[in-house]
């Protein structure tokens, strides 16, 4: 990202969404999937404007497929504490897939500087105002 004039809009929302990952670590599995999907959507929109190379466009497509697979695998019972014994392995599998997807997204965001240090500082600062 060349300058912070792009600060407003989607890059700012992307930075805020990434910060939300930290504060929603104990959220339901459904909420985590939705947040990763939101981060993907904003990353794809911001990176479209940045003009990614074909290899990164391909990675974004793979990430989209992975998110759709995770969404197709999710069932509400996985968030029900009464069925923790039944759903533990499936939940763990989905959590691992989300970890990989988050890493891929954050690597892409960092590689292309889709958010800036000043955005992160402002978001962190506004959290404590």
Token output for 129: 């105002």
Cα(110)–Cα(39) distance, integer angstroms: 13
Per-residue model confidence (pLDDT) at position 120: 78
Read off the pLDDT of residues 104-128 as tens digits, 9 standing for 90 and up: 999 999 999 888 888 877 777 765 4
Residue ranges of domains in the chain: 26-113
Question: What is the average pLDDT across 78-86?
Answer: 82
Question: What is the average pLDDT across 58-71?
Answer: 97
């Amino acid at each position: 990202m060349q300058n912070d004039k792009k600060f407003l809009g989607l890059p700012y929302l992307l930075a805020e969404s990434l910060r939300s990952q930290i504060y929603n670590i104990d959220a339901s599995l459904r909420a985590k999937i939705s947040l990763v999907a939101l981060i993907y959507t904003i990353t794809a929109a911001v990176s479209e404007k940045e003009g990614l190379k074909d290899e990164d466009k391909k990675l974004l497509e793979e990430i989209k497929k992975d998110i759709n697979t995770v969404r197709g695998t999710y069932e509400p019972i996985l968030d029900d504490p009464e069925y923790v014994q039944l759903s533990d392995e499936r939940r763990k599998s989905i959590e691992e897939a989300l970890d990989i997807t988050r890493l891929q997204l954050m690597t892409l965001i960092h590689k292309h500087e889709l958010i800036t240090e000043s955005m992160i500082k402002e978001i962190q600062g506004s959290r404590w105002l």
